[in-house]
Amino acid sequence: MTAYLIRRLFQMLIVVFVVSLFMFFLFNIAPGGPLTGLQQQQRRITPEEKARIRAQYELDLYWPVRYTRWLVGWPQGPIVINGQEWFAEVPMGCYLEATPEEGGGCKDYVYLAEMPTLHPPIKSSRGILFGDFGQSTVVQAGRPVWDLLASRLWATMELQILSLTLSLIIAIPLGIYSAVHQYSKFDYTFTTAAFIGSSMPTFFFGLLFILTFTILAGRIQEVWPWWPTLPPGLREAVRPYDVASWLPKVQPGSPLDRFLHLLMPVTVLTIVSVAAWSRFLRSSMLEVLRQDYVRTARAKGLVERLVINKHALRNALIPFITILVLQIPLFFAGAIVTETVFAWPGMGRLYYDALNRSDYNIALAFIYVTTILTVAATLLGDILYSVVDPRIRYS
Amino acid sequence: MTASAQPIAVSKIPREGKEESQFQIVLRRFMRHKLAVAGVVVIVIMFLGALLAPYIAPFSRDAVDIAVATRPGPPGTMSSAGQIHPLGVDHLGRDLFTRLLYGARVSLSIAFIVVVISELFGVVLGATAGFMGGWFDTLISRLVEFLLSIPTLPILLITASILIKTDAQLPLPAFVTSFVSWMLAAPPQEANKVIVLMFILILLGWTGAARLMRGMALTLRNQDFVEALRAVGASNTRIMFRHIIPNGIAPILVNASLGLAGIVIAEATLSFLGVGVQEPTPSWGNMLSTAQSYMFQHPWLPLVPGIPLCLVTIAFNFIGDGLRDALDPRLKR
């Protein structure tokens, strides 16, 4: 087991390393980055000015150099041994590129010796491995990425915790009931509904909800003022609004306002998970109910309720652990699609905005943490699996 | 048991008139799954609509109607030339029914191309890995594990958003571009962008088939008939392509059918988020994305691309379910 764990941890490191390297490579070939907007605003920008702005975002450095600086905050300058500078003349990047008329290539290299003056340590990140995620460049320019992520974290957690709890409460009894009453009318209806639910695209679900409970309900409300409507997006309202004629105006930021805004995104997330999980639980339960020990329990004359709840259910839940554990990264990453549809100010939405506006420090930090959480969750799932089910051994 | 003791070629056994072929058995079992049959009907209709898009579309794909250009119009809107727009027009006065047909062509083409290539890729790699073993197996298994352990949606989003912004072009021979451009019924410049998108989806999409096929190859290679094949001098390539792969094809078909639904959803999601198929190429996803910004005034808009999108994904899933029941009766619950 120890050898297995060490091997898996080592694999995790490689995965995270490869993913972050790949992302850096991608950003390198992306055009402009933070400069895109700038080029559109001022077309008559001189090459020198452009170089200066590029240097501000460290875009003058070669991408492997940027990568190590991002990862471990190194190199900051020449290596000093006994007062003597080493590798001072190694080019680290290109400050000013030569135009094609001048023959291409680089006109002004950035040498390692110039790094402390051009890119002083105060302005650059100390390295993501040491918990410094750098600064946001576009979305909220100058704000530390970590701070920005932390400010969005609670909104995402709120959504995920609520929908996870609700999904578990609904999915487990549904799956079990349907398995115990296999081929009944309920089972047939339920499996078909769950099948359709799990094969529909999430974002269309979201749009349908807004369409029904905000737009359509709003039109009905014009005829019958008591008909309630729901706010379509965001986490809380900007100004007081009416829900239905029998309710006073809802004040922005009040608990009722929060609750109303949560309703739709939580419902969408819950429906999607319930559809998938209850199907899984149903087949896992059916598998267990066929086992010999269930027949033995019944043969002993045990009450059916005990057979189901104590003998069958516990074992049916074991494979479910792997699925449940995979939800962990979502507490950080959130549901990108649902958050975008409902303009929910969470992590997923932040990531989407960062991508749209080329704020790569945010996007990188997001991918980095999500990847670590995902691989860690997978490993945790495997370990838990072997703890709960002694038949499973890793070697 | 007595029959298997005689080494006669299976194809030489005389068929009786009443006996069903393997295909007929599968077909009969498939027909029992009513919803899967309904799925086939839906797909055939969509497929015909997509295939005939250039002939049955009442307007040209990007025709902007200045007279009704400023805002979307409901179904039945008249064009300035006096023609009826059956499903209305979008914010640029383009006919929605026409764009829906071309969108079907784009979405379905992407799904079919991506699934066919990634399943082929996965099958060949998986079969080779499982059959040969050794370093190649280790390499493929690690690669699959790697691709399965990364957070797919964020990475898909970031890769698509960057590659599509860069106008990245894959070094492909001209006939590939023109073939895709014909499939999409779109000009080659637009096809190039879609090829990049398909490339990304294929890169992340082949793992399922590879894993399935590898597992099949691992169990099949130790069976007696492979031993027998070796004894009669069949080469490794022949054993693999004529015996191992055909034997494992049933779960691959099921996987492909479910994969079609998955790719349709993935493409629609990416296009909805603005990093997939780009305007003016229509796809159901980017039509929904535009529809979202106008849905408060024009609530029918998201339904136009949304309903066919849902029908298609549900249909592909039901077909997959039906195929699973038909191809492998042991899996019948």
Assess contact for B251 and B325: CB atoms under 8 A: no
Q: Which of residues 292 through 331 in chain B touch A, CB cutoff 8 A? A: 292, 295-296, 299, 302-303, 306, 309-310, 313-314, 316-318, 321
- pLDDT at residue A28, rounded to an integer: 74
Q: What is the pLDDT of residue A273?
A: 92
pLDDT band for position B14 (cuts 50, 70, 90): low
B42 and A CB contact within 8 Å: no
pLDDT (average), residues B159-180 = 81
Instruction: Say whether B317 and A374 touch across the interface (CB within 8 A).
Output: no
Stretch B55-65: mean pLDDT: 78
- Residue A315, pLDDT above cutoff 60: yes
Is B204 in the A-facing interface, judged by CB distances under 8 Å? no
**What confidence tier does B1 reach under pLDDT thresholds 50, 70, 90?**
very low
B50 or A236, which is more confident: B50
| pLDDT of residue A160 exceeding 60 | yes
Output the average pLDDT for chain A.
83
* Partner-chain contact A18 B159, CB within 8 Å: no
Average pLDDT over residues B127-148: 90
Mutate to test the interface with B, among A19, A23, A189, A199 (most CBs of B within 10 A): A199
Terminal C-alpha separation, chain B: 28
Indicate whether B148 pLDDT > 80.
Answer: yes
B278 in contact with A at a CB cutoff of 8 Å? no
Angle at A185 between CA A181 and CA A189, to 5 degrees: 105
pLDDT surpassing 70 at residue A304: yes
Q: B291 contacts in A (CB within 8 Å)?
A: 207
* Selected residue with higher pLDDT from B242 and B66: B242
Residue B95 sits at φ, ψ, to 5 deg, of -70, 125
Asked whether the ipTM of the predicted complex exceeds the cut of 0.95, the reply is no
Q: Is A216 in contact with B299 (Cβ distance < 8 A)?
A: yes
pLDDT of residue B66: 66
A355, B161: Cβ pair inside 8 Å? yes
B326: pLDDT strictly greater than 90: no
More confident residue, A63 or B9: A63
The pLDDT value given to residue B107: 93
Which of A201, A202, A378 is the closest to B149 by Cβ?
Answer: A378
Q: How far is the alpha carbon of B159 from chain A, nearest alpha carbon, in Å?
A: 7
Q: What is the pLDDT of residue B333?
A: 40
Confidence bin at B68 (pLDDT 50/70/90): low
Residue A332: per-residue pLDDT: 86
- The model carries a pTM of 0.86
Spell out the domains of chain A, with CATH numbers in brackets.
46-132 (no CATH), 147-388 (1.10.3720.10)
Q: Residue B266 pLDDT > 90, yes or no?
A: yes
Look at A36-40, A74-78, A126-130, A386-390 and tell me which has the smallest mean pLDDT: A36-40
- Indicate if the pLDDT at residue B304 is higher than 50: yes
Distance of alpha carbon A214 from alpha carbon A220, whole angstroms? 10
CB contact under 8 A, B166 and A195: no
Q: ∠B64-B66-B71 over CA atoms, to 5°?
A: 85
Residue-wise pLDDT tens digits, A35-79: 655 555 556 667 777 777 777 777 777 788 888 888 887 777 777
* Residues B159, B166 contacting (CB under 8 angstroms): no
Q: Report the pLDDT value the prediction gives residue B332, as an integer from 0 to 100.
A: 44
Least confident piece of the model among A172-186, B155-169, B195-209 = B155-169
B275 neighbourhood in chain A, CB within 8 Å = 355
Nearest to A74 by CA among A128, A143, A18: A128
CB contact under 8 A, A201 and B318: no
**Beta strand B77-78 with A79-81: parallel, antiparallel or unpaired?**
unpaired
pLDDT for residue B146 is more than 60? yes
- The CA distance from B80 to B65, in Å, is 7
More confident residue, A142 or A97: A142
- List, for residues A87-125, the tens digit of each pLDDT value: 777 777 777 777 667 766 777 777 777 777 777 766 666
Residues of B in contact with A370 (CB under 8 A): 151, 154
Percentage of the residues of chain A whose pLDDT score is greater than 90: 13
In angstroms, the first-to-last Cα distance of chain A is: 6
A315-319, B118-122, B163-167, B293-297: least confidently modelled range: B163-167
Cβ–Cβ below 8 Å for B165 and A30:
yes
How many residue pairs from chains A and B have C-beta atoms closer than 8 A? 112
Length in residues, chain B: 333
Residue in chain B closest to A22 (alpha carbons) equals B159
